[in-house]
Amino acid sequence: MENWISRTELQHDWVSLVFLFNFILLTVLRSKHPRQFKTFIRFIDPMLYFKIYGKDNFMLQSFTVLGTLFLLISLCLGVFYCLTLVKFAPSSFSFFITLLTHIVGLIIIRFVFLKICWKLIGIEDFSEIFIFKTLSYQIQISILSFFLFLFYEFSYPTQEFLLPILILIAGLYLLSQLSLYREYWGVFKHNLLYLILYLCTFKLAPWILIYSTLK
């Protein structure tokens, strides 16, 4: 009994540190870019943020770098909770780090291949704003998911509460992607090969690869 309690407390400790690190990232993001952050979290009017900050080279912005790091950790937490929910993986810090490493590696590889495909198809200029909007939506969703996971972990740690959270996050992600495809359908319909390649190869394949690797 004592061993079980000690293992539970140990798991709670490392999860607490992960949440603390992400909270610090969010605090730095808000304090370093107060005006941009205030505009960014205006979920009702996201177009205002895109009009103001979508013209610059967003890849070089510290706001994007910090936001992406926050997104990666939140994404890894979501996948971790999903896998532990179905008892696919152990609730250990070593598995969390392994999962985070796999996700970061696959995202980098996917980004490189996408840039090559966009250049070959001739829509490289369009890809910049598309990535910017996609990343912005995902960071916004990750902020919401962070607080939901925080409440789950420390206030209401039950499967009945976790499952709706995961469904909500997946639904918001799907809606954000559908809105982007609808907005840029005029570009996609002339590049159906790109759309099929993007959805099948670069959206689904990485997660299948992670699953098969960790299995």
pLDDT tens digits, one per residue of 27-38: 999 999 898 888
pLDDT band at residue 65 using 50, 70 and 90 as cut-offs: confident
Angle at 51 between CA 50 and CA 56, to 5 degrees: 80
What is the mean pLDDT of the segment spanning 54-75?
Answer: 81
pLDDT tens, position by position, 146-194: 999 999 988 888 888 899 999 999 999 889 888 887 887 776 666 666 6
Q: CA-CA distance, 48 to 43, in Å (whole number)? A: 10
Give residue 6's pLDDT. 42
Q: CA-CA distance, 109 to 28, in Å (whole number)? A: 28
Determine the 3-state secondary structure of 43 from DSSP. Answer: coil
Give residue 134's pLDDT. 86
Nearest residue to 117 (alpha-carbon basis) of 200, 208, 209: 200
Ranking 15-24, 79-88, 111-120 by mean pLDDT, the lowest is 111-120
For residue 201 the two structure tokens come to 């190869």
Phi-psi domain of 122 (left: phi exceeds 0; alpha: psi -120 through 50; beta: other): left
CB atoms within 10 A of CB 22: 22
On the question of pLDDT at 5 being above 60, the answer is no
- Please check whether residue 63 is in contact with residue 33, taking contact to mean a CB–CB distance below 8 angstroms: yes
On the question of pLDDT at 47 being above 70, the answer is yes
On the question of pLDDT at 133 being above 70, the answer is yes
Give residue 142's pLDDT. 94
